[in-house]
């Protein structure tokens, strides 16, 4: 089978708009570095294509129709004279994005250079074979999507139960005491700026290890060495809160509870927060990941689209309500039960992803 560069089969363009150009009542998708597209009232493109986020999460999407795109989104269209089936390219890029993440450059925000895309080499069987491969991968993908939806539904259930127990965080209909985050912390510290090293002693948590919905993702974990006399400044232990202080505007403020038994070290773009006894870590993290709080975080960080920042002082100025401790514990018990279902679902997802990867790799030899 023929192997060719992606640039020999496609035309690659970049978006033109700023990430702030979105409109809540927009008619068309507006693709940015976020996993979910925003909306916009105008469109610039009308085509079948593969979209690759040029920075941030570096995710990949397939789309066919009218849309607009953020200036750091790559738009890849067919230019092969009938040799390439665009959905086949999508599945290739969805797998190849792992390599793109390794090649990405930059410090806080990782970027894909155009050459990372143009020089990628893709195996190109006949069009009919490409379509067969796509059908196989699509079927496995549909099963994966169903389980992913189930996982999202469990997260929605937790958020709904949170608001049911404690009330809207802005309106505070239950009349809980309102304080600032600074009133409920015992310590707030930045992580280390030291680089990761091969064979380091400690697992090294960076901002990509925190998900947008408040979980830890250890799939791309680095390691680091820290002198014994510095470790207490940047180590995280079970029960600590992790707050992503610097990221793109859509992702700044990601918050998660560190719930693992093994000590790890955090990078400088994460703030370690230790709470006093007034609010439980899981309750605090869930509060910070509510949509209303994400809106507050975005408004605080506006003005720096490519590298938004919320410092420790700004974080501590945010208001938080203090629910009854009995209700806090009731929420934790409920969440633990839902988390058991999530573990089963996540385990199934991992198995399905493994199967999908085998299908993809085998499909190259069809």
Per-residue pLDDT tens digits for 298-324: 888 864 446 788 999 999 999 999 999
Residue 47's domain is classified under what CATH number? 3.90.220.20
In the chain, how many H helices and how many E strands?
8, 20
Distance CA 290, CA 164 (A): 13
- The answer for residues whose C-beta is within 8 angstroms of residue 334's C-beta and 6 or more apart is 158, 161
89 contacts 52 by C-beta, under 8 angstroms: no
Q: What digits encode the pLDDT tens for the residues 254-283?
A: 999 999 999 999 999 999 999 999 999 999
pLDDT of residue 30: 94
62, part of any domain: yes
Q: Same domain for 181 and 264?
A: yes
110, part of any domain: yes
Q: What digits encode the pLDDT tens for the residues 167-201?
A: 999 999 999 999 999 999 999 999 999 999 999 99
Distance CA 205, CA 218 (A): 8
345, part of any domain: no
- Determine the structural domain holding residue 282 and report its residue range: 177-322
Mean pLDDT, the chain, rounded, equals 89
Confidence band, pLDDT 50/70/90 cuts, at residue 359? low
pLDDT of residue 55: 82
39, part of any domain: yes
Pick from 124, 154, 187: which residue ends a domain?
Answer: 124
Whether the pTM exceeds 0.75: the reply is no
Q: Same domain for 8 and 112?
A: yes
116, part of any domain: yes
Strand order in the sheet with 255-257: 185-190, 270-275, 241-244, 255-257
| Of 70, 20, 14, nearest in space to 249 by CA | 20
pLDDT of residue 308: 84
pLDDT of residue 103: 83
Q: Same domain for 182 and 281?
A: yes
Q: Residues 21-26: what's their mean pLDDT?
A: 87
Q: What digits encode the pLDDT tens for the residues 127-164?
A: 999 998 898 888 888 888 888 888 888 888 999 999 99
pLDDT at 57 over 90: no
Distance CA 141, CA 145 (A): 6
Beta strands in the chain (DSSP E): 2-5, 10-14, 28-31, 38-40, 45-53, 60-69, 73-78, 121-124, 177-180, 185-190, 202-205, 222-224, 235-236, 241-244, 246-247, 255-257, 264-266, 270-275, 308-309, 319-322
Total tally of structural domains belonging to the chain: 2
Pick from 81, 108, 124: which residue ends a domain?
Answer: 124
Rg from Cα positions in the chain: 22
């Amino acid at each position: 089978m023929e192997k060719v560069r992606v640039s020999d089969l496609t035309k690659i363009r970049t978006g033109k708009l700023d990430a702030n150009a979105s409109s809540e009542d927009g008619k068309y998708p507006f693709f940015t570095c976020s996993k979910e597209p925003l909306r916009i009232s105008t469109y610039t493109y009308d085509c079948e294509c593969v979209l690759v986020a040029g920075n941030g999460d570096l995710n990949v999407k397939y789309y066919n129709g009218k849309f607009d795109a953020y200036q750091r989104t790559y738009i890849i269209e067919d230019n092969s004279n009938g040799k390439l089936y665009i959905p086949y390219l999508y599945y290739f890029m969805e797998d190849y994005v792992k390599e793109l993440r390794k090649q990405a450059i930059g410090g806080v925000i990782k970027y894909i250079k155009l050459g990372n895309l143009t020089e990628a080499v893709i195996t190109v069987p006949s069009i009919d074979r490409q379509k067969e491969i796509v059908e196989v991968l699509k079927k496995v993908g549909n099963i994966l999507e169903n389980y992913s939806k189930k996982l999202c539904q469990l997260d929605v259930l937790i958020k709904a139960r949170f608001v049911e127990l404690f009330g809207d965080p802005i309106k505070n209909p239950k009349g809980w005491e309102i304080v600032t985050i600074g009133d409920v912390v015992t310590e707030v510290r930045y992580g280390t700026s030291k680089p990761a090293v091969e064979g380091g002693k400690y697992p090294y948590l960076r901002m990509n290890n925190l998900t947008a919905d408040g979980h830890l993702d250890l799939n791309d974990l680095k390691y680091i060495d820290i002198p014994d006399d510095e470790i207490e400044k940047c180590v995280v232990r079970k029960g600590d809160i992790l707050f992503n202080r610097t990221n793109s505007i859509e992702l700044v403020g990601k918050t998660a509870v560190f719930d693992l038994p093994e000590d790890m070290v955090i990078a400088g773009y994460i703030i370690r927060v230790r709470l006093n006894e007034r609010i439980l870590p899981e309750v605090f993290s869930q509060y910070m990941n509510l949509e209303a709080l994400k809106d507050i975080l975005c408004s605080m960080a506006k003005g720096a689209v490519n590298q938004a920042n919320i410092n420790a002082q700004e974080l501590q100025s945010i208001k938080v309500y203090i629910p009854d401790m009995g209700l806090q514990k009731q929420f934790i018990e409920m969440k633990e039960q839902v988390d058991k279902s999530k573990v089963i679902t996540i385990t199934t997802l991992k198995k399905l992803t493994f199967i999908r990867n085998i299908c993809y790799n085998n499909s190259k030899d069809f």
